[in-house]
Structure 1
Amino acid sequence: MSTELRLRIISAVVLAIVVLAATWAGGFPFRLLAAAMALLVYYEWSTITRLGAVDPRGNAFGWAATALAAVLTVSGEGVLALVTVAVATVLSLAHTAIFKKSYWLPGGIAYAGLTALSLAAIRADDDTGLIAMLFVFAVVWATDILAYFVGRAIGGPKLAPSTSPGKTWSGAIGGTVSAIVAGSALYLSFFAWPGIWIVLIALVLSVCSQVGDLFESFIKRRFGVKDSSRLIPGHGGVMDRVDGLVFACFAAFLLGLAAMATGRPVASTGAFLLGL
């Protein structure tokens, strides 16, 4: 076994232990993990897009907004964190338009802020949140793993050749099918079969996960970088590892908010996700 492969395996095991332990604990430990991920994501985003060089004041504002949203998330003030991210994004859009700066600034604030918010909202502090978070993990991980192996085995037309040449339509379809199977199996470990809802939500989250992967590939190709950073030995950066996860969580969180806005009684994001 090569040194690089050994390093990748050790890093992956350590990361899995930390993430799963925090997920099991919920509450403060998980909110702390979500906030740390948001700060690291903003660090990598601002580094890749060179915000510190092209817009120092805007980048300082982005750091302050992300840090405040992270602190509010850790404190359990999800509504205030959401308001902070929304207001900061709007203000940064105005700053960008007025001073003709980089639109990557509001994008980074929204991306990093929603990372903390969506993860914390799905996990929450109850057993439903734990199951919902495990459901998201099952869908995203199944998508990633089977998309790779099915794509390698079958090949065929490229999914997005200009953005990520290695991805194929066969892999995307295989990943989505496996996500539906994995999500359904996870759900059935705790509940009776609810009908078509879990299939549909697993399908949506799997597609969003793959969109997130392509989006990060687009950013890296746009700025000519291979990895989002070197924070994780053998794996690159945090964004490299959670791109699909955060987009799936964004979708779950925003769909839950939309359901609440339409007057549907939703106990929590996790409950919405599981159709409870």
Structure 2
Amino acid sequence: MVRLDPVNGFVALLLILLIVWGTDIGGFFAGRGIGGPKLWPRVSPKKTWAGAIGGLMASLALAAGFSAFGFGKTGPVLLLGAVLSIASQLGDLFESAVKRRFGVKDSSHVIPGHGGLLDRLDGFVAAIVLAAIFGVLRGGADGVGRSLMVW
């Protein structure tokens, strides 16, 4: 639905991908570099609060850069970046909780060493679903990309 908007769909999808990837990468490096208290050790023992905040900060930096290139107003794009970053992290934690609940280490063997295909998509699925719901509520089913990017 996000991609269907012929003018803003690709831009909105690119922003969502950048936010999710930035959250993952920023969270990884901040968590490894800073460490500190665990976020939810029973579900995801390696995730730290520093990683969660680092992921959020990385996504905000990417959203600000995205806006600086003329793709959306800074305030709404930063807000969207923050909300989707948090959704991405919650999607990742939810997928980890489901795997722990059923005693599964990896969701598949499609991408060895990365916990499976779902571990690569969990944050994106959560973020894209939230973005699509917001876009539909704000601009209708035919203008999801526009409602995310045009304020």
Q: TM-score with structure 2 length normalisation?
A: 0.90
- Aligned residue in 2 for 1:273: 148
1:242 corresponds to 2:121: yes
Hey, what's the Cα distance between the residues in 2 that align with 1:197 and 1:267?
A: 20
**Tell me, what secondary structure is at the counterpart of 1:159?**
strand
When residues 184 and 168 of structure 1 are mapped into structure 2, their CA distance, relative to the original with a 3 A threshold, is same
Where does residue 163 of structure 1 map in the other structure? 43
The structure where helix makes up a greater share of residues is 1
The answer for the alignment partner of 1:197 in structure 2 is: 76
Give unpaired runs (5+ residues) of structure 2. Answer: none
- Give the partner amino acid of 1:218: A
Secondary structure, aligned partner of 2:109: coil
Q: Distance in 2 between matches of 1:195 and 1:182?
A: 11
- State how far apart, in whole Å, the 1-side matches of 2:85 and 2:15 are: 11
Aligned to 1:249, what secondary structure does the other structure show? helix
Distance 2:149 2:34 in 1: 33
- The normalised TM-score by structure 1 is 0.51
Matches within 5 A, 1:95-244: 121-124=1-4, 126-191=6-71, 194-244=73-123
The share of aligned pairs that are identical, in percent, is 46
CA contact (8 A) 1:266 1:272 kept: no
Deviation of the 1:127 alpha carbon: 3.5
Contact 2:23 2:55 in 1 (8 A): yes
- List per-residue Cα deviations over 1:58-95 (Å, max 9, x = no partner): xxxxxxxxxxxxxxxxxxxxxxxxxxxxxxxxxxxxxx
Larger relative contact order (CA 8 Å, sep ≥ 6): 2
Shift of 1:125: 5.1
Cα deviation digits, residues 167-199 of structure 1 (max 9, x gap):
0111101110110111221233243x6241111
Given that 2:3 and 2:13 are in contact with CA atoms closer than 8 Å, whether structure 1 keeps it comes out as yes
Question: Contact 1:197–1:275 (CA<8 Å) still a contact in 2?
Answer: no
Following superposition, the deviation at residue 274 of structure 1 comes to 1.4
RMSD between superposed Cα atoms in Å? 1.9
